[in-house]
Amino acid sequence: MIDKINSSTASLNAPTFEDGKKETHTEIQNFLDDYAKYRHDINMGMEVKNNKRKAEQALNKLIAEYEKTKIIASDKQKFTAFMEEWLKTIKNTIKSTTYDGYCINFNKHIKPYFNKLNVNLDELTPMHIQGYYNDMLEEGLSATTIHKHHANIHKALDYAMKMNIIPYNPADRVTVPKKKRFVGGFYNGEQLKKVLELFKGNEIESCIFLTVHYGFRRSEEAE
């Protein structure tokens, strides 16, 4: 039986039937991880008779494999501090405009909110994240904006899982508000003429001209 696999100590268990006969295989039972708090039975696939040494070797191999993947202690790192590190990590892997958007979301909304909660990364729960989304909606943020914040938080926590810092992604267990369908408006010919006249001689006249004639998006104008 493995009481605490994190301690790398274990013993074999051969269950007994009601008639007193030994079962024809050796099992490891009660695979308990101190962090995740779950049980798991593992069938060794060996007959009990004359296989104790082989079963012990297989058991030691199992423990060694688990030790390589067990959760790393986070040293009580704050969630916001981890997100700051994550932003530095991904900075050179995404477009600068995308990175700037992530930073705005984090510095303006996510960081102030979770700093007030003073929550550590390994203590972050779905309820913390759900509360954030609910509060942001009440403050007037749109569902579309909440989805952007959710994408940032979810990616950061996925990275924490990849680094073996947390056992699961709490952002997977929240309810994100449904986005409202966007219905865009547009100017007619007369209105566009007035816009061009309004910005004539202005420093952004060229941007307005290109937008009117070619339908440029804001990100395209910035480039």
Distances (CA, A) of 38 to 3, 12, 31: 11, 19, 7
Please classify residue 216 by burial: count the beta carbons closer than 10 Å to its beta carbon, then call 0-12 exposed, 13-18 middle and 19+ buried: middle
Q: pLDDT digit string (tens) for 158-180?
A: 999 999 899 999 999 999 998 87
Average pLDDT, the chain: 78
Please classify residue 64 by burial: count the beta carbons closer than 10 Å to its beta carbon, then call 0-12 exposed, 13-18 middle and 19+ buried: exposed
Q: pLDDT digit string (tens) for 130-141?
A: 999 999 999 999
Q: What is the mean pLDDT of residues 101-127?
A: 96
Q: How many CA atoms lie within 13 A of 24 on its CB side?
A: 0
Cα torsion 130, 133, 138, 139: sign: positive
Q: Provide the pLDDT confidence category of residue 215 given band limits of 50, 70 and 90.
A: confident
Span of 6-15, 66-75, 95-104 with lowest mean pLDDT? 6-15
Answer with the residue of higher pLDDT: 210 or 43. 210
Q: What angle do CA 103, 108, 112 make, to 5 degrees?
A: 115
How far, in Å, CA of 55 to CA of 47, rounded? 9
Q: Provide the pLDDT confidence category of residue 222 given band limits of 50, 70 and 90.
A: low
Which residues does residue 22 pair with via DSSP β-bridges, in sequence order? Answer: 16
Domains assigned to the chain: 5-69 (no CATH), 79-173 (1.10.150.130), 189-222 (no CATH)
How many residues in the chain? 223
Residue 19 clears pLDDT 60, i.e. is over it: no
